[in-house]
Amino acid sequence: MKTLPGPALLFCPADRPDRYAKAAARADVVILDLEDAVAPERRAAAREAVLAADLDPQATIVRVNPHGSPDFEADVAAVARSPFRCVMLAKTETAAAVEATAAATGAGVLALVETPLGVVNAAAIAAADGCVGMMWGAEDLVAGIGGLTARYTPGEQSPGRIPGEYRDPPRHARSAVALAAAAYGRWAVDAVRFDIDDEPAQRAEALDAVALGFSGTACIHPAQVAVIRAAYAPTPDQLAYARRVLAAAAEHDGVFRLDGRMIDGPILRQSETIVRRARLQPDSTEGSAAPEGTNR
């Protein structure tokens, strides 16, 4: 999975094969979770369910337990026997763990960075052979620091901070993962939001993820999918302007002016991103007619 087929990635417990098809139908990517969502005594059965799954390999990721954990070897052996070619490595901490996972599965690795050591090593993890994407997680990170909550809470006396906003270490981790992924050409996935019913907050966070260059956002409930898709979808005005920029660029060599604005490399890349995001929407009518290249 060199690119994501869409922005909404939905976790599904791997020991609930009765939910697989529904999760796959609702989201752009389903993540079959062999780690936190499954009790240790049920993981053997969950691995068998993954092997029997009739899901699109191009829209399925299998989350395996951390490298070096008791279930890791059995997890990666199951993935290697499956048709699924993308594996999420929980609690990724080193480049060596990524490379070992890729070698054992023959699959691309989505490195889930959610521990203090993983955040410190984010750049090396992104650079590792076999890494195709990066994701981060807040709750395990804060627990690893010895903290209590990843977000500011209502009533907390923290001047200038908004309840629900991430504290500084998670914000740093989010930035570190986004930068590392971009530096090494990997796609990046933003963390899940656990307060399922707060749609405005989910939308605001997904819009911020788009602005920072994330390729998608993970979710834990189907109700979050539509909110995430809507946030990643360009507005009609954004798409129309992006297409005008790219069409004009095809007629110019170098920097040019459009509507009183100078258009250069960064603006062209942003316009290409907008058109690409529009093509990932389920109801997209975008086709090859939308120009993506330039003469520059």
Strand partners, 188: 134
148, 128 contact by CB (below 8 A) = no
Q: CA 5 → CA 78, 92, 229, 294, distances in Å?
A: 24, 23, 12, 24
Q: CA 151 → CA 130, 176, 296, distances in Å?
A: 32, 18, 44
126, 180 contact by CB (below 8 A) = yes
293, 250 contact by CB (below 8 A) = yes
Neighbours of 296 (CB within 10 A): 14
The structure tokens 């890349």 sit at: 269
pLDDT at 195: 92
**Domain 8-232, CATH:** 3.20.20.60
Q: Which amino acid is at 208?
A: D
pLDDT at 282: 65
pLDDT at 236: 81
d(CA 276, CA 292): 9
d(CA 181, CA 129): 13
Is residue 135 helix, strand or coil?
Answer: strand
The structure tokens 């059995």 sit at: 74
d(CA 105, CA 82): 9
pLDDT at 169: 96
pLDDT at 294: 35
Strand pairing class (108-113; 131-136) = parallel
Question: HSE-up of 72 (CA within 13 Å, CB side)?
Answer: 16
Q: Which amino acid is at 43?
A: R
Could you report how far apart the first and last alpha carbons of the chain are, in Å?
A: 29
pLDDT at 91: 98
d(CA 181, CA 36): 24
Is residue 256 helix, strand or coil?
Answer: strand
User: How is the chain split into domains, by residue range?
Assistant: 8-232, 234-296
Q: CA 118 → CA 85, 92, 134, 142, 144, distances in Å?
A: 23, 6, 11, 12, 11
pTM: 0.86
d(CA 81, CA 95): 24
pLDDT at 151: 93
191, 138 contact by CB (below 8 A) = yes
Task: Give the tokens for residue 79.
Answer: 């993935």
Q: DSSP secondary structure string, 55-116?
A: --GGGEEEEEPPTTSTTHHHHHHHHHHSS--EEEETT---HHHHHHHHHHHSSEEEEEE-SH
User: What residue ranges of the chain have pLDDT lower than 70?
Assistant: 157, 159, 282-296
61, 1 contact by CB (below 8 A) = yes
